Structure 1
Amino acid sequence: MFKKLLIANRGEIARRIQTVAKGMGLATVAVYSDADAGLPFVREADEAVRLGPAPPRDSYLNIPALLEAARATGADAVHPGYGFVSESAGFARACQDAGLVFVGPPAEAMLRMKDKSQARQLVAAAGVPVVPGSEDVLPDVDAARVAAERIGYPVLCKAAGGGGGIGMGVAHTPAELEKVFRQCADRAKAAFGREGIYLERYFPAPRHIEVQVLGDHHGHLIHGLERECSIQRRHQKVVEEAPSPLFAEGRDEELAGKLFSAALTAARAFGYANAGTVEFLCAEGGFYFIEMNARLQVEHPVTELTTGLDLIAWQLRIAAGERLTVRQEDVRRRGAALEFRIYAEDPVRFLPSPGPLRVFQPPSGEGVRLDSGYAEGDLVTPHYDPMIAKLIVSGATRAEAIERSIHALEGFRIEGIKTNIPLHLRILRDPVFRAGELNTRFLEHHAKP
C-alpha cells in the first residue's frame, strides 16, 4: 500500500476520500484554489497545497500544478474523485509517468470509453444491447438526416466526447434536427473541444438505471447491484436510490440478472479495473447501454449503504495492487437508501444561489448520513458546481427510507442561501414517486411548487 495520497478534487468528495484514507493509515494531501482556501477539506488534510486562482483551468484542471503538488509533498498516489480530471486518460498517464499510482482504471480503458460513439460499438460487438442509433460520429446535418430516417423520430443528438447532459438535444422532425444538431455541435465544441455528434433513438420516458462494478488487476470483476437515477432535471441527476423500485423485493429477477450480466460484459470489453458504473436506459420491457463512467459516482453512497461495500476503500486497495476478496455471492441487498443532492439554488427558478452559510445545521438520526463540503460560516462561491452536500438516508424498506428522508430534510437548517430542499420534499410526498413509478421526465409532470 502507498503511504501518502493526494486528492485531486474539492468539497464533499475530497473530505470523504480523506476520511477513508486516514482510516486506512494513509497521510492525505489536499489541493485547493483561492476560492476554496478556507473550506473544511483543506483544514482537515494532513497537508494542503495551493493550485492557483478560482477558475478550474487554473486550479483543479491544471495537470502540471497537480503533479507538482504531488512531487513537492512526496505523495505516491493520487485519487481524482469525480469531475475535473477524474476521467482524463492524459492525467492518468501523466501520473504513471511521474511514478504516481492513479486511483482509477487503466488509461487504456478510459480511452476506450471516452468517445461514446466508439464505446457503443465496442459493447455492441460484445453482445450488450445498445440504444438504436448512428453507427459513428456524423460529419454533417445531411448525414444526420439520413441516420434519423433509419432510426425513426424522435432522435437524441449527443456529443461523442460529452458528459453531464452537455451537448444533448431532442429533435422530433427533420426541421428540428438541423437546428438541434448545430446547437449540440456548438456546445460540444465549447465544452469539450470537439464537435462530434451521433444520434440515438429518443425514448420519451425511460428509467435511468446504472450498475456499480468493481474489479481488480488480477481478473476478478463483480457488480454491486443497481441504482436508479431517473429523477433528473436537464439530464442532471437530482435524487438517486438503491435498489431500483423496478427490482426491489425480488421483482423481475430475470431482467435484473440480464442487466447485471450485461454490465459485467461491458466492463470486460473495456478492460476495466477499479470502481466504475455502467449506465442503462430501461424502456419498452428491455434495457440499453448508454455509457460507462470511469470513476466513482456522486451517488455511490446508496450502494455502500445497501451492500456494505466501502467503494473508496476498495478503490485504494485495488490501485495498490491488492486482490478484490469480495465474491459475487457476497453482494446482497440490505434495505433501501436514497440520496439527495443539496444544491445552493432557487428551488423554483433553479438559479444558483451563492452566498455565506450563516446557518448550517444538518439533521441526524437513525439511517442518516451527510457528506458535506461546507460548514457553518463558509462561503458558497459561484465558481463550481452548486452542490454543497449530499444527504443519504437508509431504512429497512423503501417506505421507511422515504419517511426518514422527509424527517431529515424537514430538520435540515440552512440560512444565508436558497437550497433545493423544498424540491426534494415535494418529490418525496408525490404519490407517483412513493409508488416507485419513475422515469426521466418525472419532474416535468410531478412535484410542482
Structure 2
Amino acid sequence: MSHSDAILDRLMSLHPKVIDLSLDRMERLLAALGHPERAIPPVIHIAGTNGKGSTLAMIRAGLEAGGARVHAYTSPHLARFHERIRLAGTLIAEADLAAALEECETANRGLPITYFEITTAAAFLAFSRVPADVTLLEVGLGGRLDATNVIAAPELTVITPVSIDHTQFLGDTLPLIAAEKAGIIKPRIPCVVGPQEDAALRVIEARASGLTAPLFVHGQHWHVAPERDGIVFQDETGLWDLPAPSLIGPHQIGNAGTALAALRMLGATHDQARAAVTRAEWPARMQRLAHGKLIRAAGQQAELWLDGGHNPAGGRALAQTLAALPPRPTHLVCGMLNTKDVAGYLRALAPHVESLTAIDIPDEPNTLPAADTARLAREAGIPARTATDTTAAVAGIAQTEPAARILVCGSLYLAGRVLRENG
C-alpha cells in the first residue's frame, strides 16, 4: 500500500454519519488551509449527469493543443486515486499527493468531513502550488452543494446532458436534478449548455436569467451534427468542419459539440478544435481492450470492450453505440451497484444483446448481487446467467461463441477493477 493509500484509508473514517449535502465542512477546511481555491488558475466548472468526463477530456485536448498548461480534476478514478488530479497536464506525483492529503488531514483536526470533500480540498491545494493557465473542474455530485462549488467566479461554466441519477441526494424528477446542476451557474459568468430535455433546459434558463449569466445553448446558439465521416460544429462565429470524435459512440457528438462551444468561448482556433475531437482520451468509455489476461480468456476471434456507464441514459448511449458498430453477436458481462436504476439501464440494452453474464463487483459493499442482476436482465428480456468473476464470465461466453463481441459494463467501479487486473 502506498503512503497516499494509507492516508486515504484514514480519511474514510472521518466520514459524517449521514451525508447531508452542504458546503459548511468544505468552507471550514478551506479557511483552515488559507483558501487555496482562491489561488488556482482560472476555472472551467463542469456539471451534468452524463458526458462530464468526456467533455472535459475534449476541452483539455483542445486547450493543450494550443500550448496551455491545464490542471484537471475528475472523479471517480479507475485504477488509482492519482488519476483524479492532473497538474499542468501530468498526473499528480505520489509525494505531492501524500503531502497535500496530510496537510488537509492536519488542518481538518479530526472533524467530520466526507472523503470527496477532503480530497477536493487536497486538489485545490495542489492546483494552487503549480503554475498553469486553466483549471478544469468536474463536479462530483449534483452541483449546487457539491464540494467543487466553492469557486466564486469561474471563467466559464458548462452543463452536459442532465438525466435522472443519484435520486437519493438530488431529487427524483428532471427539474429537481436540473436545479441542482444549475447551481454552478454564477452571476454574469457565461454558461455553455449541452443537449438537454426541455424540462431540464427551462430550469437552467430560469436560473441563468435570475443571475444575468449569458447562456450558450445547444440547438439555439450552437449546433453540431454528423456529416459524411466527420462532424460539423456551427455557431454565429462560423463553422468548423472536423473529423469524427476519437471517443466512440453517437452520444460523443453532443459531448464534442459542448466541448467545442466551450473552446469557442475561450477563443480556440480550428486546429485546437480538431485536436479536441481527435486527441481526447477517456478510459472505460466504450474502450476496446487489446491486451492482458482478459484478452487471453476471450480468445483470438472475440472483440473485448469496456464501458463504465451505469444509469438509464448511459444504457441508451451504449445501445446507440452498439447499434452503430458493425453487426456481431454481443454478450454482456455486467456488474452494478445497488443504488442504480438497473432495470432502466438494462431495458435500453435488451434489443442489442444476445445474453448477459452477471457478476458481483469485487470488494464493493454496494454491489448488486449477481443473481439480482441476472433476474432483472431476464425481466428486461435478456437471457442471463451468473459467473464468479470477470475472467470466468468472459471465458464462458468465448466457449459458446468464439467470435463474440464481449462488453464488460454496468459500473465505473467494475471498469476500474478490470483495468487494474487486466494489466
What TM-score results when the alignment is normalised by the length of structure 1? Answer: 0.32
Which structure: greater helix fraction?
Answer: 2
Which structure: greater strand fraction?
Answer: 1
